[in-house]
Amino acid sequence: MKKNKKILFITYYFPPLGGVGSIRITKFLKYLPKYGFYGDVIAPKNPPYYFYDDSILKDIPRESKIFFGDFFHPLKFLKRFRKISSRPRGFLLHFVWPDYAIWFIGTALKIFKKIKNNYTTVFISMPPFALGIAGWIIKKISFLSLIIDFRDPWYNNKGIETNFIKKILNRIWEKKVIKVADKITTVTKSFKEELSRRYPTESDKIFYIPNGFDPEEYEERKTKFHKEGIKIGYIGTFSPPKNEGIHMFYALKILNEEKKVKTSLTFIGMVDKKEIEKAKKMGVRKYIKLKGVIKRKDIKRNIRYFDLLWCDYNVNFSPFIVLAKLYEYIGTGIPILLTIDDENQESAEIIKNTGTGIVVKRDGRKIAEILYKNFPSFGKLIKTKEKLKEFSREKITEKLVSLLEEIQ
């Protein structure tokens, strides 16, 4: 295999770890061979994580070599001392910069030095943002091309900037990494525009490669909806401040108790305990089902009876984020209910442009009114399927291939 056709991915999240970060890299590996490229991976071995999913291992081509590296992770140690904090990861972030992957840098670079002569391009996906520092070092010690992939903002990220010093360091290092990278990719158009505004001299090398869905994972949606009530599903992690349930909980109360429409909400994934307590206080816990975290291969079977898939986003967390679940929702063919503060934010524009659901402000009564108005004919919310192709994982990989061909 020619060296210039092999890409080295460095990532923290990789199967058997579940979640969005793992899926993005795995799907690139799956579809790159269709364009004559192949990928190998450097990733940590068994890092502490809330969810393992070996069902996504099937997407990794046999040609891909995976280099797992052991490293010290203090979270393993902290979990033995729960009295320090009920949330060890959050406790750790107060004392570590830029994040918990800082201990993986040395391991990743050690592996890289042994295999670097087999590649011409390195692709690093963030977060965690410590990998950006690894990318900066790689540019200093090698002649390989570097692509930095932003799945979330680094600077001005409320999830990781627990003090002013971290905020300053994030700004400094974001700039240093962007300066040395050959190409920058972002998963949203709005963040691409923000980085271009922030670093105008680097704007020509910043590109938009969104998340997406794999059509092979979803069957054609049958247009059968429940007439006796409304079944709403939510897939993935649900946790403030990105997501908040109070608006939907209020809508559940109105629909069930005022409108007399039997309405249920099922969570598939990890839900913040405070949100469940909130539902109990509002008297709507009885309308909510918790299925917990399930493997990706089992999602299709669990969602087939939902009338709507719900996505909630608090734009005050960051205006530049589109939750990856939104693209997966699009792939299911099930109508989407997006509740969001800003109806012009990129997430809302995607729903409107693809004709895959409805966008409602985060107001319980408004949500209830929209659902009551469209019940039981939710099928009419799906307007078109033509624009969905641009978000297929294969099409998205084609965009990456275009960048790879530019820098070969």
Average pLDDT in the 79-105 region? 67
Mean pLDDT of 346-364: 94
**The predicted structure's pLDDT at residue 374:** 85
Query: Which amino acid makes up residue 362?
Result: R
Closest C-alpha among 338, 378, 381, 380 to residue 361: 338
Considering only CA atoms, which of 296, 23, 41, 309 is closest in space to residue 151? 23
**pLDDT tens digits, residue range 143-162?**
999 999 999 999 988 878 77
pLDDT value at position 108? 97
Q: What's the topology of domain 3-212+392-407?
A: Rossmann fold (3.40.50)
Helices 364-374/246-253 angle, 10° precision: 50
- Cα torsion 14, 16, 18, 21 to 10°: value is 0
Higher pLDDT, 79 or 246: 246
Q: Does domain 215-390 have CATH number 3.90.1150.10?
A: no
Q: In the sheet that 308-313 helps form, which strands lie side by side, from edge to edge?
A: 288-292, 262-268, 229-235, 308-313, 336-340, 357-360
Which of 337, 327, 343 lies closest to 388 in space, CA to CA? 327
Per-residue pLDDT band at 386 (split at 50, 70, 90):
low
Tens digits of residue pLDDT in 35-69: 999 999 999 998 888 788 888 999 999 999 999 99
pLDDT value at residue 197:
97
Distance of CA 159 to the CA centre of its chain: 14
| Distance of alpha carbon 7 from alpha carbon 404, whole angstroms | 9
The predicted-structure confidence for 157-214, as pLDDT tens digits, reads as follows: 887 877 889 999 999 999 999 999 999 999 999 999 999 999 999 999 999 999 999 9
Question: Residues of CATH 3.40.50.2000 domain(s) within the chain?
Answer: 3-212+392-407, 215-390
The count of C-alpha atoms lying within 13 angstroms of the C-alpha of 167, restricted to the half-sphere facing its C-beta, is 8
Map residue 9 onto helix, strand or coil: strand
Residue of higher predicted confidence among 301 and 286: 286
Which residue's structure tokens are 């092979």? Answer: 216
For residue 93, pLDDT beyond 90: no
pLDDT at 151: 95
